[in-house]
């Protein structure tokens, strides 16, 4: 696909300008150089680090009566290129094709922190590809065509196609339990693509516009799914096969897949109505979509509805109202865990369930299932030609079907009060400030996520000893709700900029966020973030711009951390 596209692009770049009746443009040569002593992931995560020559071009041309094309291209290296071609044939047709390719360098984790030993237990790692450099090439192709029928200019059609590809290598890891923990790291081929095909139409009648569209999205990963031979299931201390009743698979089951990425299909339909009048606008839209994991045969669907309107109230005031609701419904799935029979030890001949009375099988009801209602009421007041205030309130209710965010509570309700101010002094300061306060009842949390009480004062020799407390029992006994989401949030933001002479601009900004969660049962969570920046932009000519700046950020978090001390 890539080679064909590049060939067609080259033909277009040469042939199209030749047919132009009138046109022009600019071309430039770039010299790139990059020096890096260590991993490029920090200094140049998205840069091709090969030095070399590049080229840049912007062209336009006219053809026919109302035909126009724009071509732009930036070729920094074979792995870093951008092209865009647009055609217009008057107001009736438009074609827009763009191609963007760049690299994304990824980290190779050496895993050296994993090694630890406490005889007779050991914890270790194996990096099967220690010399591999990870990263992939990202290729993004987009094409869209708009067409209005001659004589029926109010009826417009569009069709679009896009394909986003990633191709390269990343690190994948897998962990064997038993006999000490063993983390294996290996190469994982990435060859994934997301392909969108969308088509739609709009019909304008006076100031009413109706629009309908259909989108099909396909995702696939062609990179081979890696496999791992898991270590032998054996007791971590005694190194006997007495542990295999609590492990679903080990080396005796042969290679096991890890990081299997499912193929996904998405289908989405949308209808939209926009209506405008002299002093306001109204929009309503309905969206219906289904997403299917084809590998596991799981799907969820959602239905969303939106209504939004704005109305001028007198000369200086605007009112805006918006409400949106959506529902997500995901399939249930019965998880049947493989339960081997113990071959040795005190429970030989029994499964884990048979001797501990614990059934690991369960019906997975998705935490995705929910009903959401979101509304905004907002007033804007224009106190001067270049100055305005905005006041607003947002209400958001997220009611989950099953997932609890507090004991017995599945609904989070957010109320957000906000205001902002904007003022421009011509040829001087441009000032903006905003302040928002949010009150969130039952914010997202991991209910009973930590802090097991003191459950067993009698030390036992092994978790396999009769009567010993099992790990799932420790988990079930956890009692502290934990979260990194606020029940109260205060946000302040201000920016200011002004010209310093003819060619220099000063830009300042600051923001402060104070988050607090006092709804947790055993602790209070608190986070403050301060960000400030100052930039000076010097533009001596249209083609030359110098930018220098300083950013300061400070973040403080006060949270409850639970460290269980026991040997499972």
Partner 1 sequence: MRHAAFKLVWALLILTGLCFAGDAGPCLDCHEGVVTSIATTIHTRVAGLDCQTCHPAAPSHVETGDTAGLIVDNPQQQCFSCHTDLTCDGEHCDRESFTCDNCHCVHHGSGPSMLKGDATKVCSKCHKDVAARMDLPNHHPVPEGKMTCISCHSPHRDSRASEATAADVNNLCWKCHSRYQGPFIFEHQPVIEDCRICHDAHGTVADNLLVQTEPFLCLQCHEFHFHAGLAANHDTDVIVGGVEFSNPNAEAGFKMAYGTKCTQCHQQIHGSDLPSQTVPGQGKGLLR
CB nearer to partner 1: pick between 266 and 437: 266
CB atoms within 10 A of CB 547: 11
Q: How far is the CB of 150 from partner 1 (least distance, A)?
A: 15
Q: How far is the CB of 324 from partner 1 (least distance, A)?
A: 6
The answer to whether residue 425 forms part of the interface with partner 1 (CB under 8 A) is no
Q: How far is the CB of 483 from partner 1 (least distance, A)?
A: 6
Strand 116-118 and strand 93-106: the pairing is: unpaired
Residues binding partner 1: number (CB under 8 A) = 199
Task: Report which of 61, 45, 177 is spatially closest to residue 103, judged by C-alpha positions.
Answer: 45
Among residues 34, 161, 444, 538, the one that binds partner 1 under rule CB under 8 A: 444
- Residues 512 and 552: their CA atoms lie apart, in Å, by 12
List 506's β-bridge partners, or say none. 498, 536
The answer to whether residue 324 forms part of the interface with partner 1 (CB under 8 A) is yes
Characterize 264-294 residue by residue with b for buried, 16 or more Cβ atoms within 10 angstroms of its Cβ, and e for exposed. bebbbebebebbeeeeeebbebebebebbee
Q: How far is the CB of 131 from partner 1 (least distance, A)?
A: 19
The answer to whether residue 235 forms part of the interface with partner 1 (CB under 8 A) is no
CB nearer to partner 1: pick between 157 and 249: 249
- Residues 215/266, Cβ–Cβ less than 8 Å: yes
187, 188, 189, 191 alpha-carbon torsion, rounded to 10°: -150
Span near partner 1 by CB under 8 A; candidates 31-39, 68-76, 126-134, 454-462: 68-76
The answer to whether residue 464 forms part of the interface with partner 1 (CB under 8 A) is no
Task: Report which of 69, 83, 183, 187 is spatially closest to residue 136, judged by C-alpha positions.
Answer: 187
Q: Which residues ranging from 95 to 134 are in contact with partner 1 (CB under 8 A)?
A: 96, 100, 102, 104, 107, 109, 111-124
Residue 356 phi, psi (nearest 5): -110, -5
Q: Which residues ranging from 477 to 536 are in contact with partner 1 (CB under 8 A)?
A: 478, 482-485, 493, 495, 497, 507-511, 525, 531-533, 535
The answer to whether residue 428 forms part of the interface with partner 1 (CB under 8 A) is no
Span near partner 1 by CB under 8 A; candidates 31-39, 126-134, 454-462, 547-555: 547-555
Q: How far is the CB of 250 from partner 1 (least distance, A)?
A: 8
Cα–Cα distances in Å, from 549 out to 83, 503, 505, 546?
30, 16, 12, 10
Q: Which residues ranging from 284 to 313 are in contact with partner 1 (CB under 8 A)?
A: 285, 287, 289, 291, 293, 295-296, 298-300, 302, 304-306, 308-310
CB nearer to partner 1: pick between 423 and 437: 423
Q: Which residues ranging from 374 to 413 are in contact with partner 1 (CB under 8 A)?
A: 374, 376, 380, 382, 384-388, 403
CB nearer to partner 1: pick between 309 and 415: 309
**DSSP 8-state assignment for residue 179:** S
- Residues 364 and 558: their CA atoms lie apart, in Å, by 34
- Residues 307 and 281: their CA atoms lie apart, in Å, by 11
Q: Which residues ranging from 128 to 167 are in contact with partner 1 (CB under 8 A)?
A: 138, 164
- Residues 413/397, Cβ–Cβ less than 8 Å: yes
Among residues 330, 406, 414, 438, the one that binds partner 1 under rule CB under 8 A: 330
Q: Which residues ranging from 11 to 50 are in contact with partner 1 (CB under 8 A)?
A: 13-14, 17, 22-27, 42, 45-47
Q: Which residues ranging from 338 to 377 are in contact with partner 1 (CB under 8 A)?
A: 338-340, 352-353, 356, 358, 360-362, 364, 366-368, 372, 374, 376
What single string gives the DSSP state of each residue in 470-529?
PHHHHHHT--EEE-SS-SEEEEEEEEEEEE-SSSEEEEEEEEEEEEEE---SS--EEEEE
Task: Report which of 270, 241, 221 is spatially closest to residue 345, judged by C-alpha positions.
Answer: 241
Q: How far is the CB of 564 from partner 1 (least distance, A)?
A: 5
Instruction: Please enumerate in sequence order all residues whose Cβ is within 8 A of that of 279, keeping only pairs 6 or more positions apart, or say none.
Output: 311, 312
CB nearer to partner 1: pick between 441 and 533: 533
Q: How far is the CB of 459 from partner 1 (least distance, A)?
A: 14
- Residues 76 and 141: their CA atoms lie apart, in Å, by 17
State which H helix or E strand residue 17 sits in: helix 2-19
CB nearer to partner 1: pick between 441 and 509: 509
Q: How far is the CB of 437 from partner 1 (least distance, A)?
A: 18
Span near partner 1 by CB under 8 A; candidates 31-39, 127-135, 322-330, 454-462: 322-330
CB nearer to partner 1: pick between 221 and 519: 221
**DSSP 8-state assignment for residue 401:** S
Among residues 242, 247, 440, 464, the one that binds partner 1 under rule CB under 8 A: 247
Residue 521 phi, psi (nearest 5): -80, -25
The answer to whether residue 460 forms part of the interface with partner 1 (CB under 8 A) is no
CB nearer to partner 1: pick between 161 and 474: 474
Among residues 127, 165, 245, 519, the one that binds partner 1 under rule CB under 8 A: 245
Q: How far is the CB of 507 from partner 1 (least distance, A)?
A: 5
CB nearer to partner 1: pick between 330 and 438: 330
Q: How far is the CB of 487 from partner 1 (least distance, A)?
A: 14
- Residues 169 and 38: their CA atoms lie apart, in Å, by 19
- Residues 148 and 201: their CA atoms lie apart, in Å, by 10
């Amino acid at each position: 696909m890539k080679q064909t596209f590049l060939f067609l692009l080259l033909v277009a770049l040469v042939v199209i300008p030749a047919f132009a009746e009138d046109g022009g443009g600019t071309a430039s040569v770039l010299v790139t150089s990059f020096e890096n002593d260590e991993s490029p992931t920090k200094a140049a995560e998205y840069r091709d680090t090969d030095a070399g020559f590049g080229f840049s071009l912007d062209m336009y041309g006219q053809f026919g009566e109302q035909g126009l094309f724009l071509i732009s291209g930036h070729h920094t290296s074979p792995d870093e290129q951008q092209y865009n071609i647009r055609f217009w044939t008057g107001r009736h047709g438009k074609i827009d094709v763009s191609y963007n390719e760049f690299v994304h360098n990824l980290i190779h984790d050496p895993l050296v922190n994993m090694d630890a030993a406490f005889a007779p237990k050991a914890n270790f790692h194996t990096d099967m590809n220690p010399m591999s450099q990870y990263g992939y090439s990202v290729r993004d192709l987009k094409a869209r065509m708009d067409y209005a029928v001659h004589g029926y200019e109010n009826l417009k059609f569009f069709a679009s196609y896009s394909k986003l590809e990633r191709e390269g290598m990343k690190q994948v890891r897998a962990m064997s339990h038993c006999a000490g923990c063993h983390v294996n790291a290996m190469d994982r081929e990435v060859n994934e693509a997301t392909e969108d095909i969308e088509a739609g139409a709009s019909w304008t009648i006076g100031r009413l516009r109706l629009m309908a569209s259909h989108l099909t999205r396909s995702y696939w990963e062609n990179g081979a799914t890696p496999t791992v031979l898991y270590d032998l299931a054996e007791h971590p201390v005694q190194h006997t096969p007495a542990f295999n009743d609590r492990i679903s698979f080990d080396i005796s089951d042969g290679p096991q897949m890890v990081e299997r990425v499912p193929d996904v299909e998405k289908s989405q339909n949308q209808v939209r109505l926009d209506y405008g009048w002299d002093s306001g606008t109204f929009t309503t839209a309905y969206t219906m979509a289904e997403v299917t994991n084809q590998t596991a045969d799981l799907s969820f669907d959602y239905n969303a509805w939106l209504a939004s309107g704005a109305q001028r109230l007198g000369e200086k005031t605007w009112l805006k109202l918006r409400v949106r609701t959506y529902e997500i419904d995901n399939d249930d799935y019965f998880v049947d865990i493989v339960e081997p029979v113990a071959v040795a030890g005190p429970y030989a001949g029994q499964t884990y369930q048979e001797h501990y009375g614990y059934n690991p099988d369960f019906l997975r009801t998705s935490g995705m299932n929910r009903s959401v209602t979101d509304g905004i009421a907002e007033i804007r007041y224009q106190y001067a030609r270049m100055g305005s205030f905005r006041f607003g309130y947002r209400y958001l209710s997220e009611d989950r079907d099953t997932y609890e965010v507090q004991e017995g509570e599945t609904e989070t309700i957010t109320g957000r009060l906000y205001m902002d101010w904007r003022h421009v002094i011509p040829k001087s300061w441009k000032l903006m400030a905003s302040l928002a306060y949010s009150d969130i009842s039952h914010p997202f949390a991991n209910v009973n996520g930590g802090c097991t009480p003191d459950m067993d004062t009698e030390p036992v020799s092994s978790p396999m000893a009769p009567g010993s407390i099992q790990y799932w029992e420790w988990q079930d006994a956890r009692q502290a709700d934990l979260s990194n989401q606020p029940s109260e949030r205060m946000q302040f933001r201000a920016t200011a900029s002004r010209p310093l002479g003819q060619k220099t601009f000063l830009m300042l900004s600051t923001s402060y966020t104070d988050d607090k969660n006092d709804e947790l049962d055993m602790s209070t969570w608190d986070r403050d973030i301060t960000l400030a920046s100052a930039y000076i932009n010097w533009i001596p000519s249209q083609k030359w711009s110098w930018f220098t700046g300083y950013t300061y950020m400070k973040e403080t978090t006060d949270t409850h951390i639970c460290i269980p001390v026991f040997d499972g």
